[in-house]
Amino acid sequence: MKKVAVFGATGSIGKQALDVIDKLGWQVVAATAGSNLHLLQELAYKYSIPQIAVRSLKNELADDLVKRNKLISFAEAIEVAKEKADVVVNAVSGFAGLEITIAFSNTSKRIALANKESVVCGGKLLKGVKAEIVPIDSEHTSLLMLSEFVKRPYIARFGITASGGAIRDVDNPRDLSAEEVLRHPNWNMGAKITVDSATMFNKALEVVEACWYFDVDVEDVEVVLHRQSYVHSFLRLVDGSLIFAVSDPDMRFAINYALTYPEVRGSFRKEFNVNGDMEFCRIDEEKYPLFFYALDKFKSYGESAMVALNAADECAVEDFLRGSIRFGEVIDRIIDVVERVELKQEFTTIREIEEFDKYVRERYKETFGK
């Protein structure tokens, strides 16, 4: 039985991870949240998790929990995980997840990494570290699975699919509200990634993620729009043939494989049935300008472009979810801020990345206020 620590346990991925871990019969030694102590406590009770922590404490119930040594500090949770866990699931959303990945990067643990911002913003620091980093993302986890079966010299390109998010059938999405954009047609995910799915910034993050995991250039990663989200990824072989990874759109497949890799096992199983068509088409440049813009910047400026884009995206999406701007402005604001900052930074420490992230957020606030 393996021992697991789950960071971001109250989120969409975190809750599904607890379910998958439970079905595997493994034990959760510690779990954390940002601030939702109420839900974290419920989950701790449901899954018999001995110790929990939140990043920021807003709850008066805490005293009693602290006395019972149930609620520990965030730093202590990292120590408990270092001491007791074989696997760390990082399901924290956004840039905040990088610090957690870095904290475990020089341990001999597996980091099952949903927090894509970690490798997108801190990829250079995470190359060659002692920890084994395995992706939790339907595209990358299935690519990992496919690449277990095909020898590397036979692979010409790595392919991932995009659903197109909530705007794919909307002619003019600029005026959409958060409520409308949060109605994702295929996936039930956290709010931030659901908006990023509609701007397709999420897909740009995933291309960069694929470059990191499979050691390839942007040109070696192909993206196609696939409405049904049955096909998550594909390999294009040197002879022109294609191998697809297909499953229901259910993140538990990816979580399960990231935990048990390279084995394919677990009590979590589903019969897959294709009902209806499977469509594939190119990404429309007019509809998804941020996808093309982000990858152009990445090609020219590397990681510093991704840190800037990600920081601006987090600020703009927060404003959008709060209702202060409409969908089109999310994209306008990100591009505006990224155009204002110097993108030629080379990062050698996490502090430098954090400083640059902070600098970009300040430019955002300066430009658009709070």
Ligand X SMILES: NC(=O)c1ccc[n+]([C@@H]2O[C@H](COP(=O)([O-])OP(=O)(O)OC[C@H]3O[C@@H](n4cnc5c(N)ncnc54)[C@H](OP(=O)(O)O)[C@@H]3O)[C@@H](O)[C@H]2O)c1
Q: Which stretch binds ligand X (CB under 6 A): 78-86, 186-194, 256-264, 269-277?
A: 186-194
> Which residues, 6 or more positions from 289, have their beta carbon under 8 angstroms from its beta carbon?
331
Q: Which stretch binds ligand X (CB under 6 A): 104-112, 113-121, 153-161, 176-184?
A: 113-121
Site for ligand X in 1-30 (CB under 6 A): 8-14
Interface with ligand X, residue 114, by CB under 6 A: yes
- Assess contact for 309 and 297: CB atoms under 8 A: yes
What residue number has its CB nearest to ligand X? 11
Interface with ligand X, residue 186, by CB under 6 A: no
Contacting ligand X (CB under 6 A), which of 5, 30, 33, 312?
33
* Angle ∠(129,131,137) on CA atoms, nearest 5: 105
Site for ligand X in 245-274 (CB under 6 A): 251
Contacting ligand X (CB under 6 A), which of 30, 81, 92, 210?
92
Torsional sign, CA 138, 290, 281, 173: positive
Distance CA 240, CA 157 (A): 10
Distance CA 7, CA 97 (A): 9
Question: Between 167 and 317, whose beta carbon lies closer to ligand X?
Answer: 317
Contacting ligand X (CB under 6 A), which of 27, 51, 93, 229?
93
- Assess contact for 321 and 191: CB atoms under 8 A: yes
Interface with ligand X, residue 123, by CB under 6 A: no
Residues found near ligand X in the complex (CB under 6 A): 8-14, 33-36, 55, 91-93, 96-97, 114-117, 137, 187, 189-190, 192-193, 251
